[in-house]
Chain A
Amino acid sequence: AQSVAQPEDQVNVAEGNPLTVKCTYSVSGNPYLFWYVQYPNRGLQFLLKYITGDNLVKGSYGFEAEFNKSQTSFHLKKPSALVSDSALYFCAVRGLGGSGSARQLTFGSGTQLTVLP
């Protein structure tokens, strides 16, 4: 079965500092990896994805993520955090194997990012 771990429930960072939100995964075969963001009282919004190719993926709002196959990680990063980046971030994975439900997207438990002014 595929799974996603976001080891930190909460990440606090000062505005202007770099931020990292961690994600590790377990899946059969090569993964499809995603990051979504949820602002208060809103639905999830797509940030970026890794399908294949360059391990460093760039997405919306200046975010990027690095795929590391040996460490099975897909950490979200941003060089300089903004207060407006404060939100709930979800990592998700979809594997290539299995059938039915096993091919669906599996989400992590989420990490609350707070950027302090």
Chain B
Amino acid sequence: EAQVTQNPRYLITVTGKKLTVTCSQNMNHEYMSWYRQDPGLGLRQIYYSMNVEVTDKGDVPEGYKVSRKEKRNFPLILESPSPNQTSLYFCASSLTQTSGARGRELFFGEGSRLTVL
């Protein structure tokens, strides 16, 4: 089954304790992206990756890191989480999003709800 898998789905942690949210897709997609969803703000992009070893900042990258060492995986790293990073996080992927192919729809994971105390 084609899917985007995120782990963990739920996590409660404390300020400053490093954590990683994993994301894996089995559709051989070039493009992957992380979003956070907050009430009244919709989805805001954190980081994205056009392909392996190519990552770039989205609209709200502060406090986050990513890596794309393999095509299927795109982990989100919070080096020192703070309470303002409490949110619902979504990973998404699609076929290439180069300039001639920006109409490709995104496939989303089920979400990871993070609470930072």
Residues on A close to B: CB < 8 A? 4, 6, 9, 32, 34, 36, 41-46, 49, 51, 90, 94, 96, 100-101, 103-105, 107-110
Q: Shortest CB–CB separation between residue B80 and chain A, in angstroms?
A: 24
- The answer to whether the Cβ of B19 comes within 8 Å of any Cβ in the partner chain is no
Q: List 17 A-B contacts (CB under 8 A).
A: A4-B42, A32-B103, A41-B110, A43-B108, A44-B92, A44-B106, A46-B106, A46-B107, A49-B105, A94-B102, A100-B57, A101-B56, A101-B57, A101-B59, A104-B45, A107-B42, A110-B42
Contact flag A43-B111 (CB < 8 Å), given A32-B103, A108-B42: yes
Cα of A101 to Cα of B59 in the assembled complex, Å:
7
Residues of B within 8 A of A4 (CB): 42
Task: Report whether A46 and B105 are in contact in the complex, using a CB–CB cutoff of 8 Å.
Answer: yes
Residues of B within 8 A of A100 (CB): 56-57
Contact flag A105-B106 (CB < 8 Å), given A90-B42, A110-B42: yes
Cα of A103 to Cα of B48 in the assembled complex, Å:
11
- Chain B residue at minimum C-beta to C-beta distance from A34: B105
Task: Report whether A44 and B103 are in contact in the complex, using a CB–CB cutoff of 8 Å.
Answer: no
Residues of B within 8 A of A42 (CB): 110-111
Q: Shortest CB–CB separation between residue B86 and chain A, in angstroms?
A: 17
Give the residue of B43, B58, B110 whose beta carbon is less than 8 angstroms from that of A90: B43
Q: Which of A104, A105, A109 has the most CB of B within 10 A?
A: A105
| B2-38 Cβ-contact flags toward A at 8 Å (1 or 0) | 0010000000000000000000000000000101000
- The answer to whether the Cβ of B84 comes within 8 Å of any Cβ in the partner chain is no
Task: Report whether A44 and B108 are in contact in the complex, using a CB–CB cutoff of 8 Å.
Answer: yes
Task: Report whether B99 and A43 are in contact in the complex, using a CB–CB cutoff of 8 Å.
Answer: no
Cα of A43 to Cα of B106 in the assembled complex, Å:
11
Give the residue of A9, A43, A46, A101 whose beta carbon is less than 8 angstroms from that of B45: A101
Contact flag A43-B56 (CB < 8 Å), given A32-B103, A107-B43, A108-B42: no
Task: Report whether B105 and A43 are in contact in the complex, using a CB–CB cutoff of 8 Å.
Answer: no
Cα of A46 to Cα of B33 in the assembled complex, Å:
15
- Chain B residue at minimum C-beta to C-beta distance from A44: B108
Contact flag A43-B90 (CB < 8 Å), given A32-B103, A103-B102: yes
- Chain A residue at minimum C-beta to C-beta distance from B107: A46
